Amino acid sequence: MTSVTTSPLRVAVIGAGPSGFYATDALLKGREDVSIDLIDRLPTPYGLVRYGVAPDHQKIKSVTKLYERTCGDPRVRFLGNVDFGRDLSHEDVRRHYHAVVYAVGAPSDRNLGIPGEDRAACLSATEFVAWYNGHPDYVGLDVPLDATSVVVVGMGNVAVDVARVLAKSVDELATTDMADYAIEHLRTSKVTDVYMLGRRGPAEAKFTTKELRELGELDNADIVVRADELEVSDASLKAIEGDATAQKNLEVLREMAAKPLEGKPRRLHIRFCVSPKEVLGDDRIAGVVLERNRLEPTESGYIQSVGTGELETLDAQLLLRSVGYRGTPLPGVPFDPRKNVIPNDHGRVLDAPGGQQVVGEYVAGWIKRGPTGVIGTNKADAMETVASLLEDDLPALDPAAAAPEAIDALLAERGVRPFGFDQWLALDRHELDAGKASGRPRVKVTDVEAMLKVGSSG
């Protein structure tokens, strides 16, 4: 049990996405006398549930009802519109809270490391997803949808989301909560062919079967899978022994390869064992050079891709890399640049990988374990972190600094206007009402100043 001389235990949770909410919930359940400030740099809570989950996957977003309940607990304050690192420093949180939990996710993306990928028409899925979901930082992204062929690099669920959004008709998307400007821009789309590219084979694909199946059932696009790219070696089969998802994926891909084309307006191609080697063109993309790969098991049994030198050029004008999110360092907080996570032991922050514990600092979610797993994975992850926190001896605080009013005063002094949960609920109502009026789940406000205005007038 914590040896804290002032009560209640004051905790700052930085980041109000799923892992931040699950950490908050675990703290509420684990300790009666706790007082939590859930801090986010945006006025809106819910992180990737709002800005990452695909707009045509509304059901997944209903998890926010649980998060709403968490924020309804009088022991929790939501402080939106407060940027850790800019509005509140590492020293500030150490002075005002017994413990801090970093739950900031993995906001950046990985590069391919190939020539030409710095061209304007090479975007990351992270940017494209944030753009169509109305993330205020990405409203102005230039997405060249005059492209007829688009390459999506990667075989994970994000690549599937991005490929599906590009393949669907705008009428299917116009009934979702996709940002208005994105719907309007997608209305002008000239895309006819979307190519998902996997560097490894069908047995190594990372997507889940439900998401794969959905690609085969699109009204607006035929699915194209080459039978010759579905051959699976004994080593690959051995590697997926007992992996029901990978085996089911293979079955579904074989069904897709056998399915005749129906002449739908668009085609979604799923290609395996190819890697982009170079993006051709000047300002605009004039094609993507692909290298065919063969697969080789390593000593550990991992199936790796090895280039064969055999090249082909795919005629494409837009490239989206969907090869994984990437964590970035927080000012004043240890960081492992190899794994792009905050080094930790069961959620306890360490001063370096394998190093000493930094007392009073914890980490949860993607910035703890890397960008893997579905929303629910973060629950067990956050519970582990909070169990560590509640076990530890935490330093005593100056009682005046520990009072919630001290943080309020500090932010006011700096001219920061925290956006409270009641203000979010007013903004939420506004968006839901606008959605009702137009037959959509919600119409998102995508500008921070407008959010602050709606929240304050609600």
Of 178 and 427, CB closest to ligand NAP: 178
Distance of closest approach, residue 419 Cβ to ligand NAP, in angstroms:
27
Of 97 and 325, CB closest to ligand NAP: 325
Distance of closest approach, residue 197 Cβ to ligand NAP, in angstroms:
7
Distance of closest approach, residue 219 Cβ to ligand NAP, in angstroms:
19
CA distance 286 to 18: 40
Q: ∠173-435-157 over CA atoms, to 5°?
A: 40
244 CB-near residues (< 8 Å, 6+ apart): none
Of 2 and 245, CB closest to ligand NAP: 245
Residue nearest to ligand NAP (CB): 156
Of 45 and 324, CB closest to ligand NAP: 324
Residue written as tokens 């090479």? 122
Of 155 and 252, CB closest to ligand NAP: 155
Of 213 and 264, CB closest to ligand NAP: 213
Is 48 within 8 Å of 15 (Cβ atoms)? Answer: no
Distance of closest approach, residue 57 Cβ to ligand NAP, in angstroms:
6
Nearest by Cα to 47 from 20, 75, 85: 20
CA distance 126 to 142: 14
Distance of closest approach, residue 159 Cβ to ligand NAP, in angstroms:
6
Distance of closest approach, residue 206 Cβ to ligand NAP, in angstroms:
4
Is 20 within 8 Å of 365 (Cβ atoms)? Answer: yes
Of 268 and 394, CB closest to ligand NAP: 268
Distance of closest approach, residue 399 Cβ to ligand NAP, in angstroms:
42
Of 237 and 359, CB closest to ligand NAP: 237
Nearest by Cα to 397 from 92, 122, 108: 92
Which pair of tokens denotes residue 140? 């102005």
Of 272 and 424, CB closest to ligand NAP: 272
> Where along the sequence are the contacts to ligand NAP (CB under 6 A)?
112, 153-159, 161, 198-200, 204, 206, 211, 275, 322-325, 371-374
Distance of closest approach, residue 288 Cβ to ligand NAP, in angstroms:
12
Of 324 and 360, CB closest to ligand NAP: 324
Distance of closest approach, residue 104 Cβ to ligand NAP, in angstroms:
16
Distance of closest approach, residue 131 Cβ to ligand NAP, in angstroms:
16
Distance of closest approach, residue 54 Cβ to ligand NAP, in angstroms:
7
Of 160 and 448, CB closest to ligand NAP: 160
